[in-house]
Amino acid sequence: MRVVPSRSSEWVNPVTSQRPASAIIEIDRVSQVFQTSARKDHLALSDISLTIEEGAFVSILGPSGCGKSTLLYIVGGFVNPTSGVARMKGQTITGPGPDRGPVFQEFALFPWKTVLGNVMYGLRQQGVPATEAGAQSQALIEMVGLKGYENFYPKELSGGMKQRVALARTLAYHPEVLLMDEPFGALDAHTRTRLQNDLLNIWERDRKTVLFVTHSVDEAVFLSDKVVMMSKSPGRIRQVIDIDLPRPRRRSELLLDPRYQKYVVDIERMFDEVDETGSPS
């Protein structure tokens, strides 16, 4: 392991501090140590550096325990890295903010609010008047296909519908980056495919930057411009694969495309390798 200065916020990497014009997120030599017990430290992330370009759909793929969600939480500002630094548009990330909108596997909806109340929440927080926020939220609810469910409570919705609400709730306050943490992981296969299609349709309209954590190879290939393959113990970036497939992507066409199939087969093989061997140290 490389020695990383502990006072990470004051430390500037001479190479990466000159940020490319299109870079929106820079992860700069980030390491994360979790204390599992008084004596044992667990190195969840080891010296991760990654640049994400504006408007890119980037998936972080890896076996469970590789720290891929932790990396997303660091970008979200929910977790502070042990060393290294994450930047958003050149600014060091010190906490959560409305420029980075999370969507979690657990949905994390506000159960005491209706669908409309959930979607409006962020806008109201930003001081948008109720009628204006209501109109914008209504449009988003229609976009995610939940027209007619405005006054339902989360408990009355299926898992897929809850995740649609969660996506609309986050899109509502116009974050520049979407941080999606295995968003379709808790859904059944059919619902999952439908939400992937809908997410792509929505994304292809305004091409927001998306950081998408998943452990599904075909989900990563189908959605992304770039797949970041991680290995575990300690969590490291194994390889970054550009997915050079045309957009807009249609599932029916893509599944028959030999290039898509090759990406899936190659990445699956790599996944098997990292899952068996872990990170070379």
Partner 1 sequence: MTSLGAAVRRAAPVFACIGLLAVWQVASLALKNDSFPTAIEAIRAIPDILGDKESLINILASLRRMAIGFSVAVLVSIPLGLLMGRSRAVAAFFNPFLMVIYPVPKAALMPIIMLWLGVGDITKTLVIFLGVSLPVIYHSFEGAQAVEEKMLWSGAAMGLSPLQRLVRIVLPAALPEILTGCRTGLVLALITMITSEMIARQSGAGNILFNALDMGQYDTVFAMIIIVGAMGICLDAIFERVRARLVRWSEPQFDMPLSFS
Min CB(117)–partner 1 separation in Å: 10
Residue 106 near partner 1 by CB under 8 A: yes
Min CB(147)–partner 1 separation in Å: 21
- Cα–Cα distance measured from residue 270 to residue 198, given in angstroms and rounded to the nearest whole number: 28
Residue 204 near partner 1 by CB under 8 A: no
- Cα–Cα distance measured from residue 81 to residue 85, given in angstroms and rounded to the nearest whole number: 7
For partner 1, the binding residue among 41, 132, 156, 253 (CB under 8 A) is 156
Min CB(106)–partner 1 separation in Å: 5
Residue 184 near partner 1 by CB under 8 A: no
Are 184 and 29 a contacting pair, CB within 8 Å? Answer: no
**In 10 A of CB 251, how many CB atoms?**
15
- Phi, psi for residue 107 in degrees, rounded to 5: 65, -50
Q: With CB under 8 A as the contact rule, which of the stretches 36-44, 111-119, 193-201, 211-219 interacts with partner 1?
A: 111-119
For partner 1, the binding residue among 29, 68, 169, 192 (CB under 8 A) is 169
**In 10 A of CB 262, how many CB atoms?**
11
Q: With CB under 8 A as the contact rule, which of the stretches 15-23, 148-156, 192-200, 237-245 interacts with partner 1?
A: 148-156
CB neighbour class for 11 (10 Å; exposed up to 12, middle 13-18, buried from 19): middle
- Cα–Cα distance measured from residue 198 to residue 259, given in angstroms and rounded to the nearest whole number: 22
E-state strands within 1-141: 23-35, 41-53, 57-61, 83-88, 91-92, 100-104
How many of the chain's residues bind partner 1 (CB under 8 A)? 30
For partner 1, the binding residue among 42, 54, 97, 138 (CB under 8 A) is 97
Residue identified by tokens 């957009």 is 247
Residue 149 near partner 1 by CB under 8 A: no
Q: Which two tokens stand for residue 146?
A: 């939940």
Min CB(234)–partner 1 separation in Å: 24
Min CB(44)–partner 1 separation in Å: 17
Q: With CB under 8 A as the contact rule, which of the stretches 9-17, 133-141, 150-158, 245-253 interacts with partner 1?
A: 150-158
Which one-letter DSSP state was computed for residue 93? P
Q: Which two tokens stand for residue 228?
A: 């970041």
Interface residues with partner 1 (CB under 8 A)? 76-78, 95-98, 100-102, 104, 106, 108-113, 121-122, 125-126, 153-156, 169-170, 173, 175
